[in-house]
Amino acid sequence: MSRLYRPPPTNQRSRDTLDQALHFSVDSALKNLKKCRNQFKTILSTFQDELDILERLYYKGKNQHRSALFWKRVAETRRYGSRLNETDLVKLIDDMQHSFFDTNTDNMKKALKGAWTYYPDAKSLSLAMQSGAFIQYIVLLVAIVSRMDILTVELLAGVQHASSTVRHLHDILENLAPPTSPEVVSQGLDIISMDPTQLDRSALDCLVSDTIKSETDASRIPTLFPSVTHDSFLDRDRGILTETGKPEVIKRKKTKKKDEIDDIFGF
């Protein structure tokens, strides 16, 4: 069972409902996604070959080296490589591209060569970005192996390019969503838990001013506990010594007198 969460089906809208001035930006973003898709396909193909070699080496030396420390690193590399392969970046980019075309068409490859006719809502792109939130972190972990390091560096650059492109599309489509009215919240904790875009400016100013005032008043309150110095400890020790009197003197042990027998045997 795959750990990767796939976003739900997108809610498509007709191209005619989108502002004409935004068509050029969407065209540029789709071209960038196509480049990322081709880059992922080439890199992941080579990455799969390296992962297959690592898999064979792992099972060949598993019984002999399973207790060694370096073998645990090999097992971690194998696990992270498998998780990266499970993300299926090519399919993730394909799903984003297909959301701009008619999903009921029989020949999607032919449809991709033409002009886009639909566009998804901003919420669909948000869910798609959440499904690949840890791709960059996984890529850095896989780079333990020197051979995979070369491939993962190129893959990381492609992920960043695709991420910026999707965010650009999200910003374009998010502006089309109807604005939500800000909620009036009386408690400070409720204001903090709200989305920053829904905060009223006056409420935010009051919250900030109250916080600054409370911190300023707290700094003016004198300390309740006096500072303890080294002299106070000395005074305490002197008081204890005065109460108990003079220190106890250790008595020396008396030496036993020698007799004549001891002198004979040399004791």
> Which backbone phi and psi does 26 adopt, to 5 degrees?
-65, -40
Contact criterion met (CB below 8 Å) for 13 and 119: yes
Instruction: Determine what percent of the chain falls in helix, strand and coil, rounding each to the nearest 5.
Output: 65, 0, 30
The pTM of the whole model exceeds 0.85? no
Contact criterion met (CB below 8 Å) for 27 and 15: no
Predicted pLDDT of residue 61: 86
Predicted pLDDT of residue 178: 63
Q: What is d(CA 158, CA 202) in angstroms, rounded to the nearest whole number?
A: 42
Predicted pLDDT of residue 159: 85
Instruction: For 179-229, give the DSSP string.
Output: PPPPP---SHHHHHHS-GGG--HHHHHHHHHHHHHHHHHHHHSPPSSPPP-
Query: Which tens digit of pLDDT belongs to each residue from 56-96?
Result: 888 888 888 888 888 888 888 888 888 888 888 888 888 88
Which of these, 87, 70, 78, 88, lies nearest to 148 by C-alpha position?
Answer: 78
> Count of CB atoms within 10 A of residue 214's CB?
10
Predicted pLDDT of residue 62: 83
Angle at 163 (CA atoms; ends 162, 167), nearest 5 degrees: 115
> Which backbone phi and psi does 104 adopt, to 5 degrees?
-90, 0
Predicted pLDDT of residue 68: 82
| Beta-bridge partner residues of 14 | 118
> Which backbone phi and psi does 13 adopt, to 5 degrees?
-130, 155
Predicted pLDDT of residue 243: 47
Tokens found for residue 75: 């097992």
Q: What is d(CA 77, CA 249) in angstroms, rounded to the nearest whole number?
A: 71
Predicted pLDDT of residue 202: 53
Q: What is d(CA 73, CA 157) in angstroms, rounded to the nearest whole number?
A: 25
Angle between helix 146-174 and 135-142 (nearest 10): 170
Predicted pLDDT of residue 114: 81
Which residues of the chain register pLDDT less than 70? Answer: 1-9, 127-147, 177-267
Per the rule left: phi > 0, alpha: psi between -120 and 50, beta: everything else, 88 is left
Contact criterion met (CB below 8 Å) for 81 and 126: no
> Which backbone phi and psi does 45 adopt, to 5 degrees?
-65, -45
Mean pLDDT of the chain: 70
Predicted pLDDT of residue 121: 77
